[in-house]
Structure 1
């Protein structure tokens, strides 16, 4: 009798898998899932409010621009040349200069973090300037606990001294060639224009992976997923019906985030909106697939949230090129980034926003995201079929 029951169960599962795809049944599942998403405040909060909060944070709280860096200038020499050099430091908008007459006054501020470095104009500055030798004119001390800022302070302080000294040599012939640097794609070198497109990828990862994992895991936890799996609907219909509403939510969030980026944060969209939507739509495939796979394996909201955080959000944040350049990472880490869908999405978003529609960049990224998404969905469908058994 047990063998007969097992045979009937296997036969029923086979019939469910081979059942013809029914569009009316699929629409009923989509309608049910859409109503459930609209009735859930947490879903709407993650999909509509969280993107705005994250974009505001990345636009105003996170900055890679080295502007108004606080430095001290210790004026030990009373000479006119020393006063002129000190004025050169105070005349730049990139440095926030604080003056002192004793290096002990600024040393304490450097230790406390109030200053990122200081420049000492020594007592014998006039003699050093008159000798025109290789002896340095000033001493530059920086805070090494912030290496990037320390390099910036050192290089910019050197540049101020060199420019000031070149202006003193009136006998020098005028330069016949003047080099003027130009920066493509981001002429103002504003970090916001590079961060906001990447932030959109992080938002899409949260909506696609974390939201899907939480919602589906919650149904497993409540036991409603078993009821859906016991219906005549096929596994493909159930998966599509579950994910399509969140796909639409993700695309709406993309449009909202793009509007904020362009009209509020002044990030140019040099590519087409159609290309942006295509890239976002393809990226949602691996994001939703990963969330579905996590929920099928975890079947618990807390565990699903933790797995989504460590396998979805953090890799997208750290290994996608959003904040840290992939080329600067060690070779093993660079190899791992090839498995992160957000890596291809971040590169594509920066291209479509700052450069335009460059399909030589888009097509390989689209193919990579589609391949990773297909793998996730195959694994999720297999895990769901095992749950049905």
Structure 2
């Protein structure tokens, strides 16, 4: 074997491949940026810890003994108590998702505590079963800390201190994780059908040269946009139907909100996802690059940063702010509320307005990507 010849051929081929790699900016960007994005997403965006969860504390008995029992809630890095004496107000906070739980101290708490038979009611928001379980543990731990301190002062054995924590679960009485996850799957399916598939449409026509032929016809950019979106709206409607049937009959997830509201909001989000995919396709004009960009900026953020898996209150402020820029974030919270809690019209109107704004902005953006090709 001629070693010097092998070295020359190998060096020449290696130089060619390196130059080709450096010329292919899209491949190089994916190879270098994808690990960075994954590290940041999983490192900062993925957190199952519960921190500063807002909890309404209803003191129907505002005696010193009642406050002493729940003193452990104050100063906790895991819970943020919001004190009130009005149970209906706390229930309203729960329905509007301003608090994750309600700790209720009944009017006869002090009298029953003296008899060793006191009860504290804990009402949990079961829309997020993981957070509900964590809050349950933290509240029970706060009462256990008070009981231990009481035992230390009296020199007796630590027990519940005569206080029983009575738990009740709202919106997910079965405490099933599928009730929490299945509505979020609608978001992933709509994102996949929308942004990921349509990101290839305009790029494919650029590569095949068919888009240039459209520019010499009277067809307008808006008409191109509408014809690209329409078929995938039909596909998305079929997939949405499959999701709803599976949620109802396979996973037995309740649909407490209006079916028509669920369908309308889902189709509105699908429209946003389709337009976003077309915008990516029009900007990149390359199928491979478009698919990678769609994966990085639509599907993965919808999976990791939308609240699909965990409560966004537990992530850093910067990540939380970024998540609020994602259309998927506004759809996830709304669809889970519609499935498990019912028609919260305040949240529906707010999130639908945001999604409609995204649809309008993206429609203009897609038209401009097509107009630029006419120069």
SS at 2:175's partner residue? coil
Structure 1 residue 176 displacement after superposition: 8.6
Higher-Rg member (1/2)? 1
* Equivalent residues in 2 for 1:251-330, closer than 5 Å: 251-330=237-316
SS at 1:187's partner residue? coil
What does residue 339 of structure 2 align with?
Answer: 353
Structure 1 residue 175 displacement after superposition: 10
Quick check: 1:341–1:372 contact (8 Å CA) kept in 2? yes
Match of 2:233 among 224, 229, 247: 247
Match of 2:352 among 358, 366, 369: 366
Match of 1:189 among 175, 189, 211: 175
Whether 1:198 and 2:180 are equivalent positions in the alignment is: no
SS at 2:174's partner residue? coil
The TM-score, its normalising length taken from structure 2, stands at 0.56
Match of 2:328 among 333, 336, 342: 342
* Equivalent residues in 2 for 1:57-206, closer than 5 Å: 178-206=164-192
- Alpha-carbon RMSD across the aligned residues, in angstroms, is 2.8
What does residue 319 of structure 2 align with?
Answer: 333
1:212, 1:293 → 2: CA distance?
A: 9
1:255, 1:226 → 2: CA distance?
A: 37
2:186, 2:267 → 1: CA distance?
A: 13
1:265, 1:326 → 2: CA distance?
A: 25
Quick check: 2:179–2:253 contact (8 Å CA) kept in 1? yes
Structure 1 residue 287 displacement after superposition: 0.6
SS at 2:200's partner residue? helix
Structure 1 residue 316 displacement after superposition: 0.7
2:341, 2:183 → 1: CA distance?
A: 12
Match of 1:210 among 196, 202, 207: 196
What does residue 234 of structure 1 align with?
Answer: 220
In structure 2, the CA distance between the partners of 1:177 and 1:325, relative to structure 1 (3 Å rule), is: closer
1:354, 1:230 → 2: CA distance?
A: 52
SS at 1:183's partner residue? strand
**1:297-329: CA deviations, max 9, x gaps?**
111111000000001001111110001211111
Structure 1 residue 250 displacement after superposition: 1.0
SS at 2:166's partner residue? coil
Quick check: 2:191–2:299 contact (8 Å CA) kept in 1? yes
What does residue 379 of structure 1 align with?
Answer: 365
Specify every segment of 5 or more residues in structure 2 that has no aligned partner in the other structure, as ranges: 1-47, 49-129, 145-159
What does residue 221 of structure 1 align with?
Answer: 207
Specify every segment of 5 or more residues in structure 1 that has no aligned partner in the other structure, as ranges: 1-63, 65-147, 163-173
**1:145-182: CA deviations, max 9, x gaps?**
xxx9xx98xx79x99xx9xxxxxxxxxxx999754211
**1:276-313: CA deviations, max 9, x gaps?**
11101211222111111101011111100000000100
Count, aligned residues: 227
2:186, 2:271 → 1: CA distance?
A: 16
1:267, 1:216 → 2: CA distance?
A: 38
Structure 1 residue 350 displacement after superposition: 0.2
Quick check: 1:339–1:372 contact (8 Å CA) kept in 2? no
1:229, 1:283 → 2: CA distance?
A: 30
Quick check: 1:297–1:383 contact (8 Å CA) kept in 2? yes
1:286, 1:230 → 2: CA distance?
A: 29
